Amino acid sequence: MTRDELLRLVGRLDLERKVGLLTGATVWRTRAEPAVGLREMVFSDGPAGVRGEEWDERRSSMLLPSASALGALWDERLAGELGELLAFEARRKGVHAVLAPTLNLHRTPLGGRHFECLAEDPELAARTGAALIRGVQRHGVAATAKHYVANDSETERLTLDVRVDERTLREVYLAPFEAAVRAGVWLVMSAYNGVNGTTMTENGLLAEPLKGEWGFDGAVVSDWGAVRRTEQSAVAGQDLAMPGPEGPWGAALVAAVRSGTVPEQAIDDKVLRLLTLADRVGALAGGRGLPPRAWPGGTARRLLRRAVAAGTVLLRNEDILPLDASALRSVAVIGRHACAPRLQGEGSAGVFPAEVVTPLEGIRARLRGRARILHAPGPDLGGQPRPLDASRCANPLTGEPGVLLRVLTADGRELSSEHRLSGRQLEPPVTPEAHTVEVSALLRTGEEGKWTFGVGGYGRMSLVVDGQDLVEGEFTRDTEDPAVIHLDPPRRHASVWLPAGHRAHVVARRELAPDTGRALVVTATEPEPDPEQALAEAVEAARAADVAVVVVGTTEGSEAEGHDRTSLTLPGRQDELVAAVAAANPRTVVVVNSGGPVELPWREQAGAVLLSWFPGQEAGAGLADVLFGRAEPGGRLPTTWGATLADAPVRETRPRDGTLAYTEGLHIGYRAWLRSGRAPAYWFGHGLGYTTWSYELLRAVRRQERQGAGAALDVEVRVRNTGPRPGREVVQVYLARPDSAVERPVRWLAGFTAVRAEPGETVTASVEVPARMLRHWEAEEHRWRTEAGVWQVLAGRSAGDLPLTATVRG
């Protein structure tokens, strides 16, 4: 529809109806308005898959690699294809708008949602994010650029006030959002936090630059619960308050318009934006709707598998990889993460994948009938206990694998009863009469020993095992954070000795209380084998095998929404495990399964080190492709990895008196490392393939002046494949301005492209450096400027390895 047609629809609604549309109808839906042919629109998290409206383990979703793995692709085409897969998933689930991508930056390695953000560099995040957005929206589904802006850490995330100067905002934190608007994004989500004294749902940044200068014509949806005050948010350019049906707008906003504190024009503009969104996603009468579209059979899993390999970063390779499967007799596969990998981070982004390939399964599938696999899990990691699940439990009523979920009235009458697959129940079905939620199961024990059970939730809780009361008490709510209340409530644990081959009857209950969600989480941890013995077995397996593959990583509870990390050390005795295995077998490949940086103190001892990130459901299939050379590890670091947390130049996430000052200004990530003069363990951009390259020639020329945009550069980089295999190389171009009259990063990424070449072949990479990479924000004049003079152009393979330099006059 044209803008005028949409405006006519707005004109048909009275004030109450218009304002009514601006708060959600439910947690995930907007309101319908038959008077203008508007249907409900469904929103869904999150970046690594489309969950749909329910937290229900039976409603599965394709699970993509998490955002840091997508940042590692340096491949807009593949990012776009993954965006398309998200759109297909959305349409399969009747979702109109996907609440992704997250465009905040890797400001510190401790950020709890680091895994959900793309990169530390604004240009890499911008290009990858824009590609995802275009992919999603190509199929009529809205993407959401979130969280606008400076939501780069989690501590006090609802109230945190970020202090950041205007230039840093423009050049660093706003840049990916500006790119999203240039890519035509249909939704922007305003963040919980404040910037420079004003919470984002009330912040002037919604008007300028977002809607004014950048010309964003879509709608600004709030983060869930982020609209707190009526008038301030309504006049600031916030368009839609989620979730609903309650909220601070409604009747209060109608009254504010009537009393003249909020102009009705502001309401009309919001409704226009909402109708524009509805028109785009086919939710207006006459629109085509969103007929479900299925991704062509089988190829979605192939795409995800390809994405795993393409995002995997090879940090180090002492001539170990790729492995020759035909020459191997035995492989030791070591580590807990080999059979229980972390596929995604925790929080609102979580989905339930239907099919998962673990590293152990992926390696097994590749070596079946060829080589022997010795699996040794190593010592326990001490992470959060696992919820009950169908692999260990049976429904006490039916005997089926899984658990029984019941909802009861205050006098114990059963309101509903259903078979479920997990002891983590986040949204049990409730009616007004519902009083108690209960999960029960028969848990199979293996060997005799001490089992630890846990129960999580709010209100009165109890946990009974074989008739014995293990936990009894009341958990009070101590946070406002919806991600904690609904997804990760506090847990209490207790242990009991159970015999071997036993079926333990587990019954957990919570009473429902207002404003505490409905989650009930029931966990069980089996008796742990002696850690010394587990370590010794792993070392023995490594010694006996031709090659050892050790999969290590972070554990549940770390790398989660709602909390920042406090350490980058691998949990449990994993560092000791890797060091011991590498000492026993020099042909040791370490696979690191984490969403963000961890310390790798043994890195120089390992034969090869791969980063798998949170790889999604095809983890093991993609890993096996890389290990055995069916695919090159395609990833390059989207973020600098320091040797230790203490080395990281920017790490603070804890606010002081509610404020967090971005005192480092423009210098985050590699820029901070360069400024500090210290070398990290691995630079931004680093990543090896299976061949080698020489950088031979760099040519940079200025392109003709474009109207008002300053000059862009055309850069050509000649590289030669000097190794034995065909390969793909990500050619990176940085700019520097040593003689600048303004403060600048030592250098900054200005462009990149990937080339492929056969062994011995020379190819030329053409990299366009857009004019915006040459400009800087002049805070006093509140505008962009491009400094005249000479630019240094550097080309190479990472922010710390740039063998070619040229100069060009701008």
Q: Smallest distance from the beta carbon of 720 to ligand BGC, in angstroms?
A: 45
Helices (H), 428-549: 482-487, 531-544
> Shortest CA distance to 785 belongs to which of 797, 799, 796, 771?
771
Helices (H), 115-193: 122-137, 166-168, 175-182
Report which DSSP code applies to 462: E
**CB closer to ligand BGC out of 192 and 748:** 192
* CA within 13 Å, CB half, 21: 30
Contact 694, 719 (CB under 8 A): yes
Cα 351 to Cα 49, 65, 344, 356, distances in angstroms:
6, 12, 8, 12
The rounded distance, in Å, linking the Cα atoms of 194 and 642 is 29
The rounded distance, in Å, linking the Cα atoms of 674 and 806 is 20
Q: Is 52 in the site for ligand BGC (CB under 6 A)?
A: no
Taking each continuous run of H as one helix and of E as one strand, the counts in the chain are 18, 35
Q: Smallest distance from the beta carbon of 21 to ligand BGC, in angstroms?
A: 19
**CB closer to ligand BGC out of 401 and 557:** 557
Q: Smallest distance from the beta carbon of 45 to ligand BGC, in angstroms?
A: 5
Q: Smallest distance from the beta carbon of 128 to ligand BGC, in angstroms?
A: 18
Q: Smallest distance from the beta carbon of 98 to ligand BGC, in angstroms?
A: 10
- In this structure, the number of other CB atoms found within 10 A of the CB of residue 61 comes to 23
Q: Is 65 in the site for ligand BGC (CB under 6 A)?
A: no
The rounded distance, in Å, linking the Cα atoms of 722 and 467 is 69
From the list 75, 121, 223, 389, the catalytic residue is 223
Binding positions for ligand BGC, 336-395, rule CB under 6 A: 348
Binding positions for ligand BGC, 480-539, rule CB under 6 A: 482-483
The rounded distance, in Å, linking the Cα atoms of 535 and 544 is 14
- In this structure, the number of other CB atoms found within 10 A of the CB of residue 604 comes to 11
The rounded distance, in Å, linking the Cα atoms of 795 and 788 is 22
Q: Smallest distance from the beta carbon of 243 to ligand BGC, in angstroms?
A: 8
Joined tokens for residue 119: 């990169």
* Binds ligand BGC by CB under 6 A, chosen from 45, 123, 346, 599: 45
The rounded distance, in Å, linking the Cα atoms of 631 and 600 is 25
Q: DSSP for 664-679, please give it.
A: TTT--THHHHHHHT--
- In this structure, the number of other CB atoms found within 10 A of the CB of residue 397 comes to 12
Instruction: For helices 3-11 and 264-280, give the axis angle rounded to 10 degrees.
Output: 130
The rounded distance, in Å, linking the Cα atoms of 174 and 609 is 34
**CB closer to ligand BGC out of 350 and 796:** 350
Q: Is 451 in the site for ligand BGC (CB under 6 A)?
A: no
Q: Smallest distance from the beta carbon of 595 to ligand BGC, in angstroms?
A: 15
Report which DSSP code applies to 174: S
Helices (H), 298-396: 299-311, 336-339, 359-367
Q: Smallest distance from the beta carbon of 481 to ligand BGC, in angstroms?
A: 7
**CB closer to ligand BGC out of 39 and 146:** 146
Letters for 145-164 (x = contact with ligand BGC by CB under 6 A, - = none) are -x------------------
Q: Smallest distance from the beta carbon of 638 to ligand BGC, in angstroms?
A: 19
**CB closer to ligand BGC out of 98 and 773:** 98
Q: Return the amino acid letter for 583.
A: A
**CB closer to ligand BGC out of 201 and 348:** 348
Q: Smallest distance from the beta carbon of 53 to ligand BGC, in angstroms?
A: 11
Looking at 433-569, which runs of residues are DSSP E strands? 436-444, 449-456, 459-465, 468-475, 491-498, 503-511, 520-525, 547-553
- In this structure, the number of other CB atoms found within 10 A of the CB of residue 107 comes to 27
**CB closer to ligand BGC out of 346 and 632:** 346
Binding positions for ligand BGC, 189-228, rule CB under 6 A: 223-224
Residue whose C-beta lies closest to ligand BGC: 348
The rounded distance, in Å, linking the Cα atoms of 315 and 335 is 19
**Residue 223 known to be catalytic:** yes
> Shortest CA distance to 568 belongs to which of 638, 643, 680, 479?
643
Joined tokens for residue 476: 């009070």
Helix (H, G, I), strand (E, B) or coil at 800: coil
**CB closer to ligand BGC out of 485 and 504:** 485
**CB closer to ligand BGC out of 454 and 596:** 596
**CB closer to ligand BGC out of 144 and 593:** 144
The rounded distance, in Å, linking the Cα atoms of 443 and 395 is 9
Q: How many residues sit in the footprint of ligand BGC (CB under 6 A)?
A: 8
**CB closer to ligand BGC out of 57 and 223:** 223
Q: Return the amino acid letter for 341.
A: P
Letters for 98-137 (x = contact with ligand BGC by CB under 6 A, - = none) are -x--------------------------------------
Catalytic site residues? 223
Q: Which residues bind ligand BGC (CB under 6 A)?
A: 45, 99, 146, 223-224, 348, 482-483
